[in-house]
Structure 1
Amino acid sequence: MRYLLWTILFCGVVFAQEKYVLVVHGGAGTILKKNMTAEKEQQYHQKLAEAIAVGEAILKNGGKSVDAVEATIKILEDSPLFNAGKGAVFTNSGTNEMDASIMDGSDLNAGAVASVKNIKNPISAARKVMERSPHVLLTGEGAQQFAQEMGLEIVDPKYFYTESRWKSLQKIKKNEKNVNENDKHGTVGVAALDIHGNLAAGTSTGGMTNKRYGRVGDSPIIGAGTYANNNTCAVSATGHGEYFIRLAVTHSISILMEYGNLSLQQAAEKVIHQKLTKLGGTGGIVSVDKDGNIAMVFNTEGMYRGHVKSGEKIQTFIYK
């Protein structure tokens, strides 16, 4: 009887440790089915699923959440479908300036880069800052020099050019009031829980179409665009960055859980549907808590998103 009891307890511990979760977003905005072709819709679903599968493979094999976050985001950065990496939008001066951040919930270590123009995968540069430098945030030429010294892939800025993003810039320049909401809110991000109980989050973006003066949004700001803490949750945000910075959105969700005793879903809804909406901001978050619960909350018409949990199939979504 005693042997049976210990066997049951041991199996329960093993089962608990083997839980993993990965949740992804690819940007939020005015995403309506009537404006989407069936072919384009399928492309988004397939790329989200592909990215999630890459991250899941790492988690399923006992890999770390930070590894899964970086690998997943790299798939999205390499796709012209999303406003990050290859699909980054253009600034007013016709360049691509990208931002990214990553955070490890096990020790609150974090790294970020902003306004970089030639780093193929900004999320990898952010991780190098986290692990190989004493700093949290590096910008511009300094961040690019650091990335090169770390052996990351440096590309000609022309690599980031895509015809659709270039046309969006010209359209906005012609009539600046005619701004596509997707261009304002395009960002990619991931939150993950590994089987060791560690959380991590990361975010990468090309920012806002037609941005000027070296503008930097929330994506590389720890506590605004990205946050992870093993005691609470991991969160990645997408939206109008100025509002997310002012509200410290991702950190606020964690704080409401830690000190307000709210669940992840309750905290996320309070921040997005109450605080952010009241201030006039739009966007959303994807998140996972220390127990593996997921929240995907947004106040826009749609958000490219998806998730997978241990023992379950990958699911992807677009519309509200």
Structure 2
Amino acid sequence: MKNLALIFAVLFVITSCKNESKINLEDTQVESKKAEFSIVIHGGAGYINRESMSPEKEAEYTQKLEEAIKVGYNILKNGGTSLDAVEKTINVLEDSPLFNSGRGAVFTHEGRNEHDASIMDGKTLNAGASSGTQTVKNPINLARVVMDNSPHVMLSGRGAETFAEEQGLEIVNPSYFSTESKLKSLERVKNSEKDKVSVFYDPEIKNSKFGTVGCAALDKHGNLAAGTSTGGMTNKRWGRIGDSPIIGAGTYANNNTCAVSSTGWGEYFIRGLVAYDISALMDYKGLSLNEAAKEVIQNKLPKIGDGKGNGGIIAIDKNGNMVMEFNTPGMFRATMNDAGELYIGMYND
């Protein structure tokens, strides 16, 4: 019995040493993967495929995604904050008619362009958002000043525009946001209500519920931030608000876990609290960012609304690891890390 006890004791010590070595090794591996800074962006998820994309249009998207992410990358490289990188990167996308945000926002049923946006600071958990604005040139800037200069989290409509004017933000005539391509999309979606069959064949109609821009970043100070900006859903009515300005659904950032920006059919992202859910899975269940994003986007979200939970997210964790997870045929996206390596993608391949 004494010999048996001695054997068990030796085995226990050996096993303990192995476990300790394994833990230390894992800690080293995690530490070695930590990036000094990194940034990831999206320009909307949806029915994006090569068959419906001309080489010229693909080049336009590639150029604009690269231009946008390099703005944020340079801010981070020079020691700037993740909040500034997120805001200025989204500005580039908002100013482009290619995306459903700012200049290229889609039209409501009444023929207006209405914007929603949000931003969140992972260090303080402070956040700002706006919805239903029609005259603020860059809605993400309004979300930022709501966060920084007001006691509130979200402002809407005319009140939000008044605050924007008081804060000295650039105000434009609503006609600034009108683009011919988005107006044609509205007409096609309206016509599709009379001809249900066309919905299944027209990419513009299939994409009417999608389209948003967003950014998530980690800076040299170890702080995360995320922001999202959109024109919402083509043909939306009654002052509809999607997930983009909803903290926890369209945007979330927490230095302890990750920063997330969402894009997709907003009603289902709101119901699933998608951005926060990814952070919560990391926080409470110890999942990696990649594991949490896959669980939410590929498993949980599609089950909401009988398979209508379509879209994607971009996210970055506290170590600078980035994911771009989506369950649609495509998502405009790009990443840059502290080594200056650039990736740009559009399709689900």
TM-score (norm 1): 0.94
For residue 170 of structure 1, the aligned residue among 152, 165, 187 is: 187
For 2:110, the aligned partner's letter is S
For residue 259 of structure 1, the aligned residue among 260, 268, 284 is: 284
Alignment partner, residue 305 of structure 1: 333
Residue 182 (structure 1) shift: 2.6
* Percentage of pairs with the same residue: 61
Q: Secondary structure at the match of 2:36?
A: coil
1:39-70 Cα offsets, whole Å, 9 max, x none, are 00010011000000000010000000000000
Residue 318 in structure 1 maps to residue 346 in structure 2: yes
For residue 203 of structure 1, the aligned residue among 228, 238, 254 is: 228
For residue 83 of structure 1, the aligned residue among 94, 97, 100 is: 100
For residue 54 of structure 2, the aligned residue among 24, 33, 37 is: 37
> Is the contact made by 2:189 and 2:208 (CA closer than 8 Å) also made in structure 1?
no
> Is the contact made by 2:33 and 2:319 (CA closer than 8 Å) also made in structure 1?
no
Q: Considering only aligned residues, what root-mean-square deviation do their CA atoms show, in Å?
A: 1.2
Alignment partner, residue 100 of structure 1: 117
Q: Secondary structure at the match of 1:210?
A: coil
Alignment partner, residue 259 of structure 2: 234
Q: Secondary structure at the match of 2:294?
A: helix
Unaligned runs of 5+ in 2: 1-31
For residue 56 of structure 1, the aligned residue among 66, 70, 73 is: 73
Paired with 2:329 and 2:102, the residues of 1 have a C-alpha distance of 24
Q: What is the aligned length?
A: 306
For 1:242, the aligned partner's letter is E
Residue 185 in structure 1 maps to residue 210 in structure 2: yes
For residue 21 of structure 1, the aligned residue among 38, 54, 64 is: 38
Paired with 2:245 and 2:112, the residues of 1 have a C-alpha distance of 19
Paired with 2:240 and 2:301, the residues of 1 have a C-alpha distance of 21
Aligned counterparts, 1:210-221, within 5 A? 210-221=235-246
For 2:220, the aligned partner's letter is I
For 2:127, the aligned partner's letter is A
Residue 288 in structure 1 maps to residue 305 in structure 2: no
Residue 278 (structure 1) shift: 1.4
For 1:80, the aligned partner's letter is P
| Greater C-alpha Rg | 2
> Is the contact made by 2:114 and 2:232 (CA closer than 8 Å) also made in structure 1?
yes
Paired with 2:238 and 2:105, the residues of 1 have a C-alpha distance of 17
Q: Secondary structure at the match of 2:208?
A: helix
1:67-121 Cα offsets, whole Å, 9 max, x none, are 0000000000000000000000000000000000000000000000000000000
Unaligned runs of 5+ in 1: 1-14
TM-score (norm 2): 0.86
Q: Secondary structure at the match of 2:227?
A: strand
Paired with 1:222 and 1:254, the residues of 2 have a C-alpha distance of 12
Paired with 2:150 and 2:34, the residues of 1 have a C-alpha distance of 31
Alignment partner, residue 247 of structure 1: 272
For 1:65, the aligned partner's letter is S
